[in-house]
A = this chain, B = another copy of it.
């Protein structure tokens, strides 16, 4: 049999209401009975049942992390897992449990969200925002569900944590220009993703600030064949390109390196800079210059923000923007000169 509050009450010779008060730190209990109950609770290792507590309080003590893609693809890479890591860490430290919400099949996002919401399984939500439309988000606000966006949504103003794409792109393009590259192309993520647009803009602006008029860019989704197609056509239509800015990490880099090698294009004579840093980049030859995103920290910040929303303490600001750092390595000219 499972231990219940009734049994504790019986053993302590009090009513269950008294036990509840002690457990929740309410005042108006004599020290003697408080200690008697506390001792019993500790001794029997009693913990109030989560479901019953949730029902009574209308709070589950659970945070949901909604990842917009199915687990098989999203949780295999570095991006979402690093954010999840930070989220999990801080949630655990704050005494919350973390539910990983991953659509059962690619595209079932809305359904998964609705399912969770209507059953009120979670107290709040952290949402990978890239695929949720304006209407869904509006409904969340309307229904007063506390939530935080991970990655800003351009046409929906809400509490969110973002990594500074503009600052990162500027950092990288300036660096590439400073290294002497003059015809810097850009391979970007899907055109409808907000950060693709931001990075494209920043890329163009920074180039023109550096008095470089040469420009070439292409979009691609995350499938290898798409990356290959986009990059090949970019290379062919711009044979004079002398450097490439990869505006996304993960498979972008792997496929790009394969293609560059196939075509006999040598780094760092041809420059390469990537948005997203991994430890292994240091071991490639040449090592790859990259923008390091504070993904773990973004996850942490998102939880912090969300908890404030749940507790209705107004956060300091609606938007937390985290800066990136440049990790300068050989693929982008630096070492060439020394040699």
Which residues of A are at the interface with B, using a C-beta cutoff of 8 A? 2-3, 45-55, 60, 62, 70-72, 74-76, 81-82, 84-89, 92-93, 97-105, 112, 114-116, 118-121, 251, 254, 257-258, 278-280, 282-285, 296
Contacts and interface: CB of A to CB of B under 8 A. Distances in A.
A82 B89 contact: no
A48 B119 contact: yes
B121 A50 contact: yes
A298 to B, nearest CB: 13
Nearest to A90: B71
A82 B74 CA distance: 10
28 contacts: A45-B118, A47-B115, A47-B118, A50-B54, A50-B60, A50-B119, A51-B54, A51-B55, A51-B120, A54-B54, A55-B55, A70-B89, A71-B84, A71-B85, A71-B92, A72-B89, A72-B296, A75-B84, A76-B85, A88-B100, A92-B102, A93-B105, A98-B99, A99-B99, A99-B100, A254-B279, A280-B280, A284-B284
A157 to B, nearest CB: 26
* Most B CB within 10 A of own CB, among A51, A93, A105: A51
B76 A102 contact: no
A120 B2 contact: yes
B76 A81 contact: yes
Contacts of A53: 119
A211 to B, nearest CB: 35
Given A51-B55, A76-B81, A112 B92 contact: yes
Contacts of A86: 71-72
A105 B60 CA distance: 22
Contacts of A3: 118
Nearest to A250: B279
